[in-house]
């Protein structure tokens, strides 16, 4: 999945995109905005690398204390907050451990991705392998592919959406 295909899909449906990134350090936004005209759909990103910044941008302190930054709950809150902060239709978040060593007693390669499309919010747990920058690139690739799939389900395959919903763990905001 290339970012250009995602751009074309979002543009076709007049949807906007934003992100809140931790372990990817802005790589998602940087990669997406390499497309000429990306500003037609991309509204912005927050790189919330430090927990205090995550909290400043809306992740609950209790989430960080109880679940940690490397958690599904944190990814969910980051995606939801990015959507609100940037008033975007679609938002994605990345939080996890790219290495080189264990963090929050969680292994290298454990990543959580939050994806918000319309009123649906999805979270994904990934177990990735490779060097630090390989893990970061894999996250971004996963993000492009997943947003493309979810937007397609919700905006292009309306009749198939009902059957697919039951097999996807999601929460409505």
Host domain of residue 35: 3-172
**Residue 127 CA from chain centroid, whole number:** 15
Per-residue pLDDT tens digits of the chain, which is 173 residues long: 589 999 999 999 999 999 999 999 999 999 999 999 999 999 999 999 999 999 999 999 999 999 999 999 999 999 999 999 999 999 999 999 999 999 999 999 999 999 999 999 999 999 999 999 999 999 999 999 999 999 999 998 654 444 444 334 444 34
According to DSSP, the β-strands at 42-47 and 90-96 are unpaired
**Distance of alpha carbon 32 from alpha carbon 35, whole angstroms:** 6
**Distance of alpha carbon 26 from alpha carbon 32, whole angstroms:** 10
Structural domain count, the chain: 1
Domain CATH code at residue 103: 3.90.950.20
């Amino acid at each position: 999945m290339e970012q250009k295909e995602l751009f074309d899909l979002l543009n076709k449906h007049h949807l906007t995109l934003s992100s809140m990134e931790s372990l990817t350090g802005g790589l998602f936004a940087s990669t997406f905005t390499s497309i000429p005209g990306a500003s037609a759909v991309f509204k912005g990103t927050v790189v919330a690398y430090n927990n205090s910044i995550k909290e400043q941008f809306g992740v609950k302190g209790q989430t960080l204390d109880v679940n940690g930054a490397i958690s599904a709950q944190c990814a969910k809150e980051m995606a939801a907050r990015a959507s609100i902060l940037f008033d975007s239709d679609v938002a994605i978040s990345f939080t996890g451990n790219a290495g080189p060593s264990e963090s929050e007693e969680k292994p290298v390669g454990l990543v959580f991705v939050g994806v918000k499309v319309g009123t649906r919010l999805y979270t994904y747990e990934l177990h990735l392998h490779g060097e630090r920058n390989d893990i970061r690139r894999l996250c971004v690739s996963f993000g492009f592919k997943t947003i493309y799939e979810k937007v397609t389900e919700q905006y292009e395959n309306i009749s198939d959406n009902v059957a697919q919903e039951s097999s996807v763990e999601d929460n409505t905001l």
